[in-house]
Amino acid sequence: MSPSRLATCLGTCACVLLGAGAAEARGPGSAAQVVQSTLLRHGAITMQLILTPEPRLLGAGTDLVATPGRLAGYVQDGRYDVAITADRAVGRGPRGDVALELIARGEHALAVKGLWNGEKVDLLFSDAGITGRMVHHVSGGAREVQSCRVAVDQRKGPLVLGEVRCLGQQVPLAYVVEPAPLMHMHRSEVALLLLTYFSSAPSPPPVS
């Protein structure tokens, strides 16, 4: 990312940089393996989404892994243990049940509908961005939630721009997405990691 783009991105309330770079890892007795990673910025909090060899969300108080058939680990508001099949995701989050339908929309889009962490979700993940409705858990010990409309789907060159508007919040949360070549947001494992990221506490401050 160019310095000008980075400066613009860091000026937003919440910034997601998808495809920020790649690193190399060597396994015992094997050739170098490219580990594609992504930086996710949420207010002042930075997380890393590793795409290979298995999708994984890492950051302060966060280590969530999507192995074949299972999403398990913890984020800042608690632990997740979710079984994933071709068309369902079922299990528990820190605040409630997970019971989602995973519906393919062509080859490059995935509809995610049902309960996530005890709250209703209706989102579409595609290579063009993320749209729909979800509930965001607010920071702190209280179980306060905000109903939000997600529209991170405006193309501008290599970027996807958009915002998340939540009830009770006067100013929407602004996001910038720079997709990696192998981002594939319609993959169920990646979509569920991104859903966890967008819906979990803490909440960033509004844009000034």
Q: Give the mean pLDDT per block of 10 residues along the chain (208 residues).
A: 40 44 40 54 70 86 92 90 97 94 93 94 91 80 76 80 82 71 76 87 48
Provide the whole-model pTM. Answer: 0.78
**Structural domains counted in the chain:** 1
Looking at the domain assignment, is residue 208 inside a domain?
no
Looking at the domain assignment, is residue 206 inside a domain?
no
Domain of 192 in residue numbering reads as 3-199
Q: What angle do CA 174, 154, 44 make, to 5 degrees?
A: 25
Amino acid at 127: D
As to burial, measured by CB atoms within 10 angstroms (0-12 exposed, 13-18 middle, 19+ buried), residue 116 is buried
pLDDT at 143: 60
pLDDT at 7: 37
Looking at the domain assignment, is residue 35 inside a domain?
yes
Looking at the domain assignment, is residue 96 inside a domain?
yes
pLDDT at 169: 76
Selection from 53, 85, 50, 17 nearest residue 193 by Cα = 50
Looking at the domain assignment, is residue 205 inside a domain?
no
pLDDT at 161: 78
Looking at the domain assignment, is residue 204 inside a domain?
no
H helix or E strand, kind and range, residue 193: helix 188-199
Give the count of beta carbons closer than 10 Å to the beta carbon of residue 181: 8
Task: Report phi then psi at 152, rounded to 5.
Answer: -100, 80
* CB burial string 198-208: b at 16+ within 10 A, e below: bbbbbbbeeee
